[in-house]
Chains A and B, each alone.
Chain A
């Protein structure tokens, strides 16, 4: 085994460790939001490290570029999915764990946006009426 293969095995086992920690959080944590928090970080990091390891193993530039594209795609898709799951859970009213401390910025931002929309609507209608 050459030294590059040792480096690749280091990356692969690091990725396996992070995937394991993420699934441990998925099983142990008490709440949907905290589980999603564990999934969204550890899954992206673990998959990225695994892909780097396999890329070093393959060593061919064309296939390594394809793996880089898969890595970029996973790194953009996973945060989008996590954000949408959080928004869906909030809109469906999924209960939080007991004793959780809530700072709700989402309602305030929605109210602000709604009032701005109302202001622009009234301005437009006033212009038409005049």
Chain B
């Protein structure tokens, strides 16, 4: 019961990510694509956590933790490149 409901929730989150991908494909500027990428990464974190509950393998929570940190550094680097023209 619960696992089937959570599978449908995962499918809904994937549909939301596809809508964000449509904006990233259509978006006129680079920053629209950055905004869409931000939404997709948070959706990926949610999907990882739901699957860690469904599988009873809670090591994936650490994977989500590292994923959030890596995405934060990556987005900071993209924005610094767009503002100043160089990263380091």
Q: A32-B29, A81-B72, A88-B79 are in contact. Are A43 and B42 (CB under 8 A)?
A: yes
Is the pair B58, A63 in contact by a Cβ cutoff of 8 Å? Answer: yes
Q: A47-B42, A58-B58, A84-B79 are in contact. Are A70 and B68 (CB under 8 A)?
A: yes
* C-alpha spacing A50/B32, complex, angstroms: 25
Q: A16-B12, A19-B16, A39-B39 are in contact. Are A81 and B65 (CB under 8 A)?
A: no
Q: What secondary structure prevails in chain B residues at the interface with A?
A: helix
What's the interface size class on B, roughly? 35 or more
Please give the distance in Å from B87's CB to the nearest CB on chain A. 14
Closest 5 CB pairs of A and B: A23-B19, A66-B61, A84-B79, A77-B72, A63-B58
5 contacts between A and B (CB under 8 A): A16-B16, A23-B23, A50-B49, A66-B65, A69-B65
A residues in contact with B69, CB < 8 Å: 73
- Extra inter-chain contacts (19) besides given A70-B65, A92-B82, A94-B31, CB under 8 Å: A5-B2, A23-B16, A23-B20, A26-B35, A26-B39, A27-B22, A32-B29, A39-B39, A47-B45, A47-B46, A57-B2, A66-B61, A69-B65, A70-B61, A74-B45, A81-B76, A85-B35, A88-B31, A88-B82
B residues in contact with A67, CB < 8 Å: 49, 61
B19, B38, B62: which contacts A27 (Cβ < 8 A)? B19
Please give the distance in Å from A10's CB to the nearest CB on chain B. 12
Is the pair A78, B65 in contact by a Cβ cutoff of 8 Å? Answer: no
A residues in contact with B45, CB < 8 Å: 47, 70, 74
Is the pair A74, B68 in contact by a Cβ cutoff of 8 Å? Answer: yes
Q: A9-B5, A70-B45 are in contact. Are A77 and B68 (CB under 8 A)?
A: yes
Please give the distance in Å from B18's CB to the nearest CB on chain A. 9
Q: What secondary structure prevails in chain A residues at the interface with B?
A: helix
Is the pair A26, B31 in contact by a Cβ cutoff of 8 Å? Answer: no
Residue of chain B at shortest CB distance from A76: B72
Residues of A1-37 at the interface with B, using a CB-CB cut-off of 8 Å, are 1, 5, 9, 12-13, 15-16, 19-20, 22-24, 26-27, 32, 35-36
